[in-house]
Amino acid sequence: MSETRDPAAAAGPAAPETRPAGTDLEPPDGRRAGRRGPDTRAGRHRKEPHGLVAGLRELVPLVASALLLAILIKSLLVQAFFIPSASMEPTLVPGDRILVCRICKAFSDVHREDVIVFADPDPAPHEDRGVVGGFLHWLGEGIGVARPEDDDFIKRVIALEGDTWEIRRGRLFVNGTRVPEPYLAEERDRRDFGPETVPDGMLFVLGDNRAHSGDSRFPPPGGLGYVPEEKVIGKAFVIAWPPSRIGGID
């Protein structure tokens, strides 16, 4: 960003003013106006840094405001995530960058078939960083230079609290009704699971690539178990990168 300087300061100090003799505007040291004063070139060099300081004073608040805005957007509105694994293929593939609507959960409940990002339901104990260390780590997370303390996962919501789910030879049933799943990977998992009822405040989530997904079918550490609703970060709504895969997430 270019510096913003006062036009008068950029032009340098004004030339010394000559005053007629015999007036009441004599120089303060008693010398007459016509006598040559001290060389002002040194003063000109001393004033140069003021332009840089003024520029920094304007730049620092702008950078701080931009960082704060980025953190607020990431924390409250929309956050970008990277897909590292194949558990959601073919809907999402490794290398996809997706956008997740965080604010949506404040205005809309989670629905079946939503693709959601959530924090680890069974996290490891957190490191005690202290007040200052905790703040710096939070700031680093906000600007994307520090890893979150808990891992994040992405799965599809299959059943809500109170729903009874069952998988028979790879076919999904919720509350006794067969649920069509056009989003599944070609390689099917034909194992049976359930029936079970989702506990209060919990979600039952599965990966679209069932044969290669550790999800709510399995308890930790091999899977995730049921996911507390409070762990939901937001709903994935668009693939933002690479260009060949840009589009909505169904």
Active site residue 87: yes
Q: What CA–CA distance (Å, rounded) separates 154 from 129?
A: 28
Q: With contact defined as beta carbons under 8 Å apart, do 205 and 116 qualify?
A: yes
Q: Which of 2, 65, 74, 87 is catalytic?
A: 87
Per DSSP bridges, beta strands 152-159 and 227-228 are unpaired
Helix (H) or strand (E) holding 45: helix 41-72
Q: Tell me the helix, strand and coil percentages in the chain, rounded to 5.
A: 25, 25, 50
Question: Partners of 82 in the beta sheet?
Answer: 97
Q: What CA–CA distance (Å, rounded) separates 186 from 183?
A: 9
Instruction: Report the candidate in 233, 227, 232 with the shortest Cα–Cα distance to residue 76.
Output: 233
Q: What CA–CA distance (Å, rounded) separates 94 from 92?
A: 7
Q: Which of 74, 75, 155, 216 is catalytic?
A: 155
Active site residue 155: yes
Phi-psi region of 166 (alpha: psi -120 to 50; beta: other; left: phi over 0): beta
Question: Partners of 112 in the beta sheet?
Answer: none
Q: With contact defined as beta carbons under 8 Å apart, do 10 and 51 qualify?
A: yes
Residues assigned a catalytic role: 87, 155
